[in-house]
Amino acid sequence: MAQILVVEDEVALVDVIKTVLTSSGHTILQAYDGQTGLDTALRERPALVVADHMLPLKTGLEMCHDLKEAKLEPPIPFMLMTAGNVPLEDSCPDAVLRKPFAIEELEEMVNSLLLTRAPSFFG
């Protein structure tokens, strides 16, 4: 399956997400602050980044913008998790998962975003 980077400062939530996604066959990278998450994403080039918005050192949105500005090919889909609101004019995250969320919501969103990264038959 896919390598997914989870960036979240709540260790218990990382453990839940990791359990859910590894049970679907994914490999999980993890980081607990936005700067380490960005560095890991640029170095490892995961198939998807799932990041909390409120993170130490760099917010999830800042991380998203920095990752998009790097213009990686193929681009890495970015899912932002938040208990708050994301400014409507901010289109950086490819998806926003509102906390608290159901496990099914997480799985559906991850699967959908991974399809956007899948290579096309036509190149």
Is residue 92 predicted with pLDDT exceeding 90? Answer: yes
Which amino acid makes up residue 111? N
Residues 80-93, mean pLDDT to the nearest whole number: 83
Task: List the chain domain ranges.
Answer: 3-117
Using the 8-state DSSP alphabet, how is residue 52 labeled?
E
Q: In the chain, pLDDT over 90 holds for what percent of residues?
A: 85
Q: Encode pLDDT of 2-56 as tens digits.
A: 999 999 999 999 999 999 999 999 999 999 999 999 999 999 999 999 999 999 9
Is residue 1 predicted with pLDDT exceeding 90? Answer: no
Least confident of 47-61, 80-94, 96-110: 80-94
Q: Nearest to residue 101, comparing CAs of 20, 33, 34? A: 20
Q: Which residues contact 84 (CB under 8 A, 6 or more apart)?
A: 53, 54
Is CATH 3.30.1300.10 the classification given to domain 3-117? no
